[in-house]
Structure 1
Amino acid sequence: MKKIFLTGGTGLIGTQTIPFLKQAGFEVYVLTIGDEVNHDGVTFIKGNLFDKQAMDNILEEVKPEYLLHYAWLSTGLFNDNMNFDFLTSSVDLLKAFAKCGGKRAVMAGTYAEYGYHNENLKEDMPAEPINIYSQCKDFVRQIAQSYCKNNGISFGWGRIFSAFGKETDPRRLTSHVVNCLNANQQVIIRSGSLIRDYIYTKDIAAAFVAFLNSPVEGIVNICTGKGTSIHDYVMKLASIIGKEDFVIFKEQSSPQQVRVVGDSTRLNKEVGFYPKYCIEKALKEIVL
């Protein structure tokens, strides 16, 4: 059985990824800071990503053939200095993976690496990161790509677009809207005209496993290729809950990208993955 080492496995996307990894025949080892209990083909290993020696020891013991690296800061901390710590620890993790005989590594990036564009974002566009978070992500990509090439490791980088799922962090849009509406509170949206490429966390997870299990290398957009305004997304959510009247739109200018939609050609044609969920189907699964 193929061994994989997964970081960020208890997060929003990571928890959805584990079932797909098991289904694909992987023996899963998950780095955790908690006390999760092992179950059918999944081993949780308590450890600190920032402790280089500890990570070296863990990787040497597990000796995984595959690495899937999600772990990073939570939402909203886009200019926090911790991003630099994740940068260095990500590179150290990859080196430890190589040292123990790893063969294929896939890591998670972000659409924010592209910068400001109105056309669909393609993988061959030059990176123009918009904050420290995306700068650190893109720097990891560059180093990892060169390091893997130099050490005979297959490498993939999945740039995630606007993820949504069963969220608990109130800073995330879906969680904020659901929490407010369930409490019969008004939701005020100030930039409803912004366009985003919304992709359900289950589709993100399945896409990463398909990517990992393929020979495809380099950058791949983890997206749907379809744009939806924040206005329409929020109203779809409010409609499912039955509280459209609680949503108020006060359109204001925003420093964010006006339109963020990915080109899904590589994901569809090369990886062979197509998202299974439309927004409505995913939102019903989340809130009902």
Structure 2
Amino acid sequence: MSLTATQPKRVLLTGATGFVGRHIHRALIEDGHQVRVLIRPGSADRLAAAADILETADLFAETFPHLVAACEGVDTLVHAAWFVEPGRYLEAEENLACLSGSLALARAAVEAGVAQVIGIGTCFEYQLPSDRLTVDSPLRPETLYAATKVALFTALERYFAGKPVRFSWARLFYLHGEGEHPNRLVPYVRACLAEKKTAKLSAGTQLRDFLDVAEAGRMIASIVSREQAGAINICSGRAITLRAFVEEIAEETGQRDLLEFGSAPLRPGDPAAVVGVSNLAPLVPERAIHDESRDQAAHQSRGPDPSRDGHST
């Protein structure tokens, strides 16, 4: 299935100063969309691109009228905000506030006449481990973070079913790249290599689906134009062991000798395999559709070509 690109839209983006949100914002601007962001006071310097700025002290505790006002005049809501403090977010009670606040934002979007809503989910919604996760794979969250994401997806899918709203849910896999927290795997390994220190790692047998966050941002932003509804895996579709992935990084500078596998324990509950199957529909420019239709019409007006049906001599 392929989808036709649409005209530029007016987009409200939450979470625009975050790890993923910054890249969504940049990609939206590159795609020609007009972007409005809803951010905390004093955080505008962390934006990745120009935007119409609205401020809120706490998005998830914001009043309903304020949320409606923020949504007014936009075509699409991309909701990338969530509580993601490293070391805390998986079981933090803040996830419950994010859930309730996100439901209020969805209601506000409907009230304001927003036609398209794109939410951000996680691969940890799925039952794990699995080396072939499709959007039809069973859901079985094992953390409060994942459980609240599943709850939001399920509720919004049902809520929007009776509304004139196209709903998409982008499930993120293992992202890395610009803006990543320094304690995460890739920044840790790169820091060790830069300082000529040994990187202490687990055995690295886990299968993962890694994707550069910039590419993830482009994929999510493209949903605005694709208008593809339903759950969408934001993944590479490439299965690679953690060890092989880290070795690729070290090979860039010829420093594989600084990788020490097996010297760090596996994290409790770390799944053996998390690999996605991409279902992002190919995007066909609207002009290409018109050109193809015109060519087909011209061909039909000429009548059949005998050299193409096996009857030529």
Is TM > 0.5 for Structure 1 vs Structure 2?
Answer: yes
Q: How does 1:231-250 map to 2 (within 5 A)?
A: 231-250=243-262
Deviation at 1:61, TM superposition (A): 4.8
RMSD: 2.2
Q: Where does structure 2 lack aligned partners over 5 or more consecutive residues?
A: 1-7, 285-313
Give the Cα separation in 2 of the matches to 1:247 and 1:19. Answer: 34
Corresponding residue for residue 115 of structure 1 = 127
Asked if 2 retains the 8 angstrom alpha-carbon contact of 1:158 and 1:219, the reply is yes
1:169 is aligned with what amino acid?
H
The superposition leaves residues 7-30 of structure 1 with CA deviations (integer Å, 9 ceiling, x where unpaired) of 111111211122221232211011
Structure 2 residue 89 is matched with structure 1 residue 73: no
Cα distance in 1, alignment partners of residues 70 and 252 from structure 2? 48
C-alpha distance after superposition, 1:76-95 (max 9, x if no partner): 42111111111111111111
How far the C-alpha of 1:216 sits from its partner, in A, is: 1.6
Q: Which residue of 2 aligns with 1:124?
A: 136
- Select 1:46's aligned residue among 40, 51, 55: 55
Of 33, 38, 41, 1:26 maps to: 33
The list of structure 1 runs, each at least 4 consecutive aligned residues, that deviate by more than 6 angstroms after superposition, is none
Give the C-alpha shift of residue 62 in structure 1. Answer: 5.0
Paired AA for residue 25 in structure 1: G
Which is greater in Rg?
Answer: 2
Cα offset for 1:221?
0.6
Q: Deviations over 1:219-277 (max 9, x none)?
A: 1111111111111111111222443222100175552111111111x21xx2549xxxx
Residue number in structure 1 paired with 2:301: none
Is the counterpart of residue 209 in structure 1 residue 224 in structure 2? Answer: no
Count of residues in Structure 1 that have an aligned counterpart in Structure 2: 269
> What TM-score do the two structures reach when normalised by structure 2?
0.80
Conserved? CA contact 1:210–1:271, under 8 Å = no
Post-superposition offset of 1:173: 0.9
Q: Which position in structure 2 is the counterpart of 1:4?
A: 11
The amino acid that maps onto 1:6 is: L
1:263 partnered with 2:277: yes
Higher relative contact order (CA 8 A, sep 6+): 2
Return closer, same or farther for 1:60/1:146 CA change in 2, 3 Å cut-off.
same
Structure 1 equivalent of residue 207 of structure 2: 195
**Paired AA for residue 137 in structure 1:** K
Measured in 2, the distance between the counterparts of 1:152 and 1:215 equals 13
Assess if the C-alpha contact under 8 Å between 1:123 and 1:220 holds in 2: yes
Q: Which runs of 5+ in 1 are unaligned?
A: 274-288
Identity of aligned residues (%): 25
Q: Relative to 1, partners in 2 of residues 1:14 and 1:40: Cα closer, same or farther, differing over 3 Å?
A: closer
Change (3 A) 1:40 1:187: closer
Tell me the equivalent position of 2:156.
144
Q: Comparing 107-116 with 185-194, which one deviates more in the overlay? A: 185-194
